[in-house]
Amino acid sequence: KAGVTQTPRYLIKTRGQQVTLSCSPISGHRSVSWYQQTPGQGLQFLFEYFSETQRNKGNFPGRFSGRQFSNSRSEMNVSTLELGDSALYLCASSLAYDYGYTFGSGTRLTVV
């Protein structure tokens, strides 16, 4: 069965622009989470969605937002990009919160 699909795989943006990243979870998975991975801060939780509702949010500025659609697909948006937003953004999906999450390969965002 297909895994978690993230698009695009790579992205280069300029400071001040905005970006939207997409995540398609495994079929049947209703829980989707997003993480930011950087060499300095490691893996940090961004948001968690379940059935289109944001259930949890990490400690990121309001420039980071997300949503989940009725088919469980999710998007995250970063507005007014800063150099420090350069990172690997990982999406993960799960049947339920205690099953363990399956991660996608990530979107590598570079802000120049």
Partner 1 sequence: GDSVTQMEGPVTLSEEAFLTINCTYTATGYPSLFWYVQYPGEGLQLLLKATKADDKGSNKGFEATYRKETTSFHLEKGSVQVSDSAVYFCALRELGGSSNTGKLIFGQGTTLQVKP
Binding site for partner 1 (CB under 8 A): 4, 6, 31, 33, 35, 42-43, 45, 48, 50, 55-56, 58, 90, 92, 94, 96-98, 100-106
Closest CA to 4 of 86, 87, 89: 89
In sign, the C-alpha dihedral spanning 33, 105, 39, 16 is negative
For residues 75 and 79, which CB has a smaller minimum distance to partner 1 in the complex?
Answer: 75
Least CB distance from residue 15 to partner 1, whole Å?
A: 26
Residue 91 to residue 41: CA distance in whole angstroms: 17
In angstroms, what is the minimal distance from the CB of 43 to partner 1?
Answer: 4
